[in-house]
Structure 1
Amino acid sequence: MKVLNKDELQVAEGVLLKRLPKSYKVYGFLYGINRNKPNTLEVVVDKWPDFEVIICRPDPQNKRASEFMKKVSIYSTDEEVLRKVLRQENAMDWSTYFLVGGFDFSHAPMLKEVSSERQVNHRGYTLVRLLYLPDISYLHTPAVDSELESRISSLNLSHVDLVNKTWKFGGNEQGYRNIKNLISNFPSCCIVDAQGQPVAWMLVYDYCAMGILYTEPEHRRKGYASVLVSTMAKKLHAEGYPLYCFIEEDNMVSYKLFKNMGFTEDASYRAAWFEFNF
């Protein structure tokens, strides 16, 4: 295995760009890393430059890595090669908790097999659909009147606690750190009320996927979600970001929203999050 340096990360990003949509999660991480977004990861491959496996994992030399959930992302074009890589002693730190996020669900039996060999417990965290916008011209833009347009803004650090409290995977100190990092370093979008307080918002994860879309209950059914998706998609496109998101399989409201907005999916593909050593 090889740890990629700065120049090699640029090359790897270009390779993954040609392998979308299944490579989106790792591509998104590399996109952020290559644009100097704060991160606590190192990126390794099975071989260079013609890699078949690429893994983003916590950098043991990064002192801030312990402040965030121990997350691993994997993309592979050959499951047998991936199996061999995961069986290597230095591929994963199997001695502690970690979360493999956004991997191709077809690899799940193999991941379970390798973890069982190491007597490491595992469980499925969530199963998601991958939706993406291959061309900005596909975006269906809702009509926005001038009053609502004047209330579209961006989140700031005074909003971290509000977003963390309502985030499904937040509500704790680790969630607070995650939201603070995202608001500080990635695009965000919100709709504010007459007092300037956010009542609906959307963020971008550190792997550059759109997410954390939320509207306060008393402000729902006003079309805010579609306005946020449209505004964020245009902003990301203008700044060169990829346009994609993961939606939990049972979240049909968000699924229909993104489909109606022009996003597409590979219906045969599912991504998953698995926990190990929990």
Structure 2
Amino acid sequence: MKLSFLNMTQATLLNETWSVGGTEQSLQYLTQLISSFPSCCLLDAGGSPISWVLLDQFGCLTHAYTMPAHRGKGYIHLVIAALAQKLEKMDYLVYGDVLENNTSMKRAMKCLGANFTSCFLSYDLHTPLAQK
């Protein structure tokens, strides 16, 4: 296994595994994140990502995921810690978001020393219509 970064060819996998993904719009969004912001992933022997995390447009750790066959092995800790370390070296404040009902990710983040707040943030992103 090897630590690496995500590339745009892997956006389809992220889109297929993302709980709110699966659309052309979400694929474009993930492709933009991958091409524009830091990420970290763990690749298997064949070069396929098995665990990953990336930043969104707000500098927030997000879209962290481990393929089901590889869960429970600490891989998510590894990729989050690697990306957080890279960001800290660049003097970035490291923070992330976790869905309220994602208890396994909350547990993983607590193991990494994360502090949680009780706030709820919601935002909608809209793409302007093309001019005719």
- TM bracket, shorter-chain basis: 0.7 to 0.9
TM-score, normalised to structure 1, is 0.43
**1:213 — aligned with what?**
64
**1:271 — aligned with what?**
120
Q: Which has the higher contact order (CA 8 A, sep 6+)?
A: 1
Aligned length: 124
> After the TM superposition, which residues 26-41 of structure 1 pair with which residues of structure 2 at under 5 Å, given as runs?
none
Query: 8 Å contact 1:209–1:242 — kept in the other structure?
Result: no
> After the TM superposition, which residues 48-197 of structure 1 pair with which residues of structure 2 at under 5 Å, given as runs?
148=1, 151-197=2-48
The C-alpha deviation readout for 1:71-118, integer Å capped at 9, x for no partner, is: xxxxxxxxxxxxxxxxxxxxxxxxxxxxxxxxxxxxxxxxxxxxxxxx
**2:109 — aligned with what?**
258
User: Unmatched 5+ residue regions in structure 1?
Assistant: 1-147
| Aligned alpha-carbon RMSD (Å) | 1.4
1:274 Cα deviation after fit: 6.5
The amino acid of 2:101's aligned partner reads D
Structure 2: how far apart are the matches of 1:230 and 1:272?
24
Structure 1: how far apart are the matches of 2:14 and 2:28?
11
1:247 Cα deviation after fit: 1.2
Larger relative strand fraction: 1
Structure 1 residue matching 2:72: 3-state secondary structure: coil
Structure 1 residue matching 2:15: 3-state secondary structure: helix
- Bigger mean CA deviation after superposition, 175-184 or 254-263: 254-263
The C-alpha deviation readout for 1:204-244, integer Å capped at 9, x for no partner, is: 11111001111111111111011111111101111232211
Identity of aligned residues (%): 34
TM-score, normalised to structure 2, is 0.87
